[in-house]
Each structure stands twice: as C-alpha cells, then as structure tokens.
Structure 1
Amino acid sequence: MRKTFLFTFMVALLSIVSLGCQSQSERSAGSINEGRSSIESKTPSTSEAAISSSESTDPLTTNQTTVPTLFIHGYEGTKGTFDGMLSRLEVSGLGEKALTVTVQPDGSVSETGSWQDQAINPLIQVLFADNKNNEWNQADWIKAVLSYLKETYQIDEVNLVGHSMGGVSSFRYLVTYGNDDSLPTVDKFIAIGAPFNDFVTGNETQTLDALSQDGPSVISERYGDFSAAIQQYPSSTKMLNIVGDLQDGSEGDGTVPVRSGLAIGYLMQTNGLDYHDEEITGAQAHHSQLHENIKVDKLVAEFLWSN
C-alpha cells in the first residue's frame, strides 16, 4: 500500500452540473456513448475554488517534478470534462496548467497555452476534435500527442489520466505503443470510470473476490483484446483504477458497472504489473461526477505526486 497523506481542498459555492461525458451508455463500433444529452459543467472560478491564504501555507507535501500529466476525456467529452479538476489542482498549488492540445482526425496537433521547461507538475489537457470516434483511433491520437510533445518540447516522460473511454483508449495505447522507444515513457496511468470489459451481461452475480482471482466470467471483445495484448503493457507503468458505485443496487456509477471497471485488475495482477484500484461510493460516484469529486482529486494527486 502506498504511503498516503492528507491535503485539504476548500471549494466554496461550487456549482456542479452534469458534465460532458454523461448519461446512459451505448456502444457504436466499440465506442462508449457516455452522453447523448451531455451538459458541460461550469468551470469554477478562482474565487470559488481558491484556498484562503491562512489555509494554503504548505497544505501538503508533494514531489515537484517537470513530468507532465495528460488528461484525456471520454466519448463526447469536451474541455469541460477536466476543467474543474485541473482548476482545483492548480488553485491548490498541486500543478500548473500548461497546455491544451487538440488532435484532429488526421492526427495533426495544435496547442494553446505556454510550455515552461521548469513548470512544477505541469498539466496538459488533451481534446479530440472528433469526440465520438472509437478507442482504436483515439489510441492513435494519443500517440500523435506524445510524438508531438517529444518532437516539440523534448518531453521524455509523461503521466496519463483518462475518464471513461479516455481510460480505455489510454490502456489500448499502452498495450499497443507503450514500449515504443521513440515515444515518451508513461510513468503513471490513472483510469477513472473506465469500462474495460465493455457492457457485457452475465457477470452480475460474480463476487468481486472471484473477479479478482479468476477474471470475469463473461468477457467482451475489448477485454479479449486486452487479454491477448497484456504482455505488451509496459512493465514500468504504474496503474491506479478508480471506479464508482452509487450504492443504489445497480453496482455501478450509473453508466459503467463496477465489475467492468475492475475486470482489468485480473490481467494486471496475474501478469505481475503495478496495479491498485479504489472505489468511490455514494451519490457523487455518478459517472459524470467522478471527475468533479474531491475524493477523486485527492486520489489523483496522491498517486501522481505523493512522497
């Protein structure tokens, strides 16, 4: 178990609405439709999210690195998906927003913002211009972003954080390109509400212990792909898997079943890979609220930058 520490977020009057990647799930060509009627959240202003000066004096101890962390939205996601989390991390002094990188369907990359070589825990938001495409193309677009960062800024190491399909696409990137020496090394990977076993039925009665020990009883085509490719996952990349459970009897976050999210743990652990998972429970564990949950903020910051 990794060493934990405390830190405090004070978020006053934060208005949370249903965000970009929300509503019922449906699949199209292997894609996750997270939001047929998605609504972006209001990004908290500095005054709403700021920690008062009396409480902001060295609120926690973190490693200060120049390794950038890329935040990747899910199906139908937009900049609103991670705007809130990035703002909270930045206002709390845990990281510095550096770039917003947009990838076109042809793999061309554009950016806004300013990259500083000595930025402390730099944060990069990744946007897909075609935000309804499949995970295979998104994996290629993640590769395009990493290639761009290496060629443009000589970045050799990154972290990845992906929500929902962004987590699935990031994992597919890792088992496809994660050992390519021409690309930056991925040090840490965080998946948030990612349906690694898609939305297959038949696993509802399987206990979580059995899932961890034996893998899912029923596997999806996606999971079969990951099972076949897991040995290509880079052995040095540490993974944190965050899942949500509303505790309303559905055993999921309203979109992704807990068992689908946790299924990847069997592949990671049986192959001796560095893996840890955390479950967020209650009303704020809804799929579209996971990236607005300050408990998730804490887990993300601890995993990325804890001493």
Structure 2
Amino acid sequence: MKKTFFFSFLILVLSLVSVGCGNEKTAGTVKESDPTSESKSNSPSEPSTSSSGVTDPLTTNQTTIPTLFIHGYGGTEGSFSGMLSRFETSGWGKKRLTVTVQPDGSVLDTGTWDDQSDNPMIQVLFADNKNNEWNQADWIKAVLVYLKQTYQIEEVNLVGHSMGGVSSFRYLVTYGNDDSLPVVNKFVAIGAPFNDFVTGNEEQSFDALIQDGPLVISQRYSDFAAGIQQYPKETPLLNIVGYVQDGSDGDGTVSLRSGLSIGHLMQINEMNYSEEIVTGSQASHSQLHENSQVDKAVADFLWGTP
C-alpha cells in the first residue's frame, strides 16, 4: 500500500445516476433517513474539485486477509448485501461469512471459512442494531477475538458505513494498540459523522477545518482527539463522504464538515489518511453503499495494485 498523506478535498464532477437503497438510521448519531440537525446553507469555501473517472476496469490483488463490513445504526443484512454481491460479480472478493454479535458479546457465524486467497469478505451484523457506538466498538472487538480463536485470523480490513464507521474508529482509538487482537490492515469509513451533528461550524472554511480542527467540537470528537494516539499508525484510513449538491451541506444527513473533520486529527498526528468526496444524486447518505464510484474506491484502496 502506497502511503500518501494528502488532505486536499476531491469533488468528483461526474454526476451519478440515482438508484434505490435501503434506509438505515442512527440514534443520536447518524439518522440516515432523517434530516440532519446541521444548517443546510452553502459553504463559504467549497473543497477543491478534481475529476475521477469510474469506467476504467479494476484489477485487484488477491489476498487471504478478510474484510469486515459493518452496517450503520438500524442496519441489517441488506445494508451491505448489494455491495458484496457487486464485488463478487466483479471478481474483487468472495463473501465467506456472516457474523452476528449478540448484546452480551457472544458471536455466531454462518458460511464457510477456507482461508483462500480470494479477498474474503465477512459481513458483521449487530443483533441489537440500534445500540450505541461504545457497545458497538466492544462488539467489533468481540468479533475479532472470535475470528482469531476460531479461524486463526491475524489480520483484517474494516469497512464501516455511517455509525459503523464511527464505531470502527472508536474501536481503533480504544483497542488499536492491543497486540492480542488481529491487526487492522486498512480501514474505510463511508458517510461517517466523526463530529456528530453539532452546529456552529457551517461558516468555517475547509482549509481552516483541516488546519485547526472544527470550531465547535462534539463529545465524540473530543473522545477521538483524546484517544488518537491509540490509533495504529500503520493502519491507513480512506474517508469517503457524500455531497449531493442540492443545497444541503453534505449527503443530506451528515455534513461535509462533520465527515471530513477527522482529517485534522489524522494530519496533525502524521497518520496515513486519504479522502474522497463523491457527488451527485447517488451520493445521499443511505445510497453511498449503492454507489459505483464508492465500490471502485473501496476495492481499489483495499486490493488495488500499488
């Protein structure tokens, strides 16, 4: 994986055709089908624009490292089923397991694990799918402990949509340096509100956001700032955010500034961070995991040829 440190904002100028997507909701964190509490005013300084085509074929490396896909608040098996199916059709990966975590942290799985070099994919489901991010971080840990004990898995990737991205980051800043757990090789956050839904940052420029951090900080962001040294420096983060460009600030639920705020913490701590802003009607919050540009960005980041 080529380690690149860049914090320029990439806005894609190609509009994507809208397709349907199942709704997920987040309790007090990310309510994917509810309006955001943030201002819908246009930003005073838009992120810089660059083009990125989606038509070039992608050839992926094939590894034995499993990738865990973690849904958002209220999510179900349908949340990532479309993406996983498209990845299989494209030959980018093979779904091997569905792992369900109960509220008490017990784990059950269905499927067959055979340690093949086919970019194995594991779908993670929370039986209590409307619980908080602290418990979800512990449940992610429980999944990793289970995978190590049951299948001797020592390394994983994480892909989290919405609150699944928030909970994955909370896991990394809580348990990221625990040598007894599998190493997180790469992490992708999709539509994650890292600074929650606080107001007061609507007029801050994006340059100032990255250089100084958000003007108004949520308790979540404060926790992340306090724990950022626990984030494993060898784990690159790809942060994908949506921008529907319909007058709202972001993907219709999560604002650009909340989604992109984590870049400041990653930058000042010299961690491997990149971001991509996906635009168009299919960049709405609940459609990001149904977006072909997101598919390609995730697969290229996880398995693309360096």
Q: How many residues align?
A: 272
What is the 5 A alignment of 1:122-133?
A: 122-133=120-131
Distance, in Å, in 2 between the alignment partners of 1:275 and 1:15 is 28
Distance, in Å, in 1 between the alignment partners of 2:202 and 2:242 is 16
What is the deviation of 1:15? 9.8
Q: Deviations over 1:55-75 (max 9, x none)?
A: xxxx54221100000000000
User: Does residue 162 of structure 2 align to residue 184 of structure 1?
Assistant: no
Instruction: Give the corresponding residue for 2:21.
Output: 18
Question: Is the Cα contact below 8 Å between 2:73 and 2:162 reproduced in 1?
Answer: yes
What is the deviation of 1:292? 0.1
Distance, in Å, in 2 between the alignment partners of 1:66 and 1:121 is 6
What is the deviation of 1:26? 5.6
Q: Which residue of 147, 162, 173 corresponds with 1:149?
A: 147
What is the 5 A alignment of 1:224-303?
A: 224-303=222-301
What is the deviation of 1:179? 1.0
Question: Is the Cα contact below 8 Å between 1:19 and 1:80 reproduced in 2?
Answer: yes
Distance, in Å, in 2 between the alignment partners of 1:71 and 1:61 is 21
Secondary structure of 1:170's match?
Answer: helix
Instruction: Give the corresponding residue for 1:197.
Output: 195
Specify whether residues 246 and 135 from structure 1 end up closer, same or farther in structure 2 by C-alpha distance, changes over 3 A only: same
Q: Which residue of 11, 29, 32 corresponds with 2:30?
A: 32
Q: Which residue of 97, 110, 121 corresponds with 1:99?
A: 97
Q: Which residue of 71, 75, 78 corresponds with 1:77?
A: 75
Distance, in Å, in 1 between the alignment partners of 2:193 and 2:297 is 19
> TM-score, normalization: structure 2?
0.85
Question: Is the Cα contact below 8 Å between 2:18 and 2:282 reproduced in 1?
Answer: no
Secondary structure of 2:196's match?
Answer: coil
Distance, in Å, in 2 between the alignment partners of 1:34 and 1:60 is 30
Distance, in Å, in 2 between the alignment partners of 1:100 and 1:131 is 15
What is the deviation of 1:306? 1.0
List 4+ stretches of structure 1 deviating above 6 A: none
CA RMSD of aligned residues (A): 2.0
Distance, in Å, in 2 between the alignment partners of 1:298 and 1:35 is 24
Specify whether residues 200 and 193 from structure 1 end up closer, same or farther in structure 2 by C-alpha distance, changes over 3 A only: same
What is the deviation of 1:181? 0.8
Distance, in Å, in 2 between the alignment partners of 1:161 and 1:172 is 13
The letter for the 1-side match of 2:31 is N
Question: Is the Cα contact below 8 Å between 2:63 and 2:118 reproduced in 1?
Answer: yes
Question: Unpaired segments of 5 or more residues in structure 1?
Answer: 4-13, 37-58
Distance, in Å, in 2 between the alignment partners of 1:249 and 1:62 is 37
Instruction: Give the corresponding residue for 1:216.
Output: 214
Question: Is the Cα contact below 8 Å between 1:21 and 1:74 reproduced in 2?
Answer: yes
Q: Which residue of 64, 68, 82 corresponds with 2:66?
A: 68
User: Does residue 163 of structure 2 align to residue 165 of structure 1?
Assistant: yes
> TM-score, normalization: structure 1?
0.85
Distance, in Å, in 2 between the alignment partners of 1:269 and 1:64 is 30
Question: Is the Cα contact below 8 Å between 1:20 and 1:78 reproduced in 2?
Answer: no
What is the deviation of 1:282? 1.0
User: Does residue 132 of structure 2 align to residue 134 of structure 1?
Assistant: yes
Q: Which residue of 94, 105, 108 corresponds with 2:106?
A: 108
Question: Is the Cα contact below 8 Å between 2:99 and 2:124 reproduced in 1?
Answer: yes
The letter for the 2-side match of 1:113 is G
Instruction: Give the corresponding residue for 1:6.
Output: none
Question: Unpaired segments of 5 or more residues in structure 2?
Answer: 4-16, 35-56
Secondary structure of 1:76's match?
Answer: coil
Secondary structure of 2:104's match?
Answer: coil
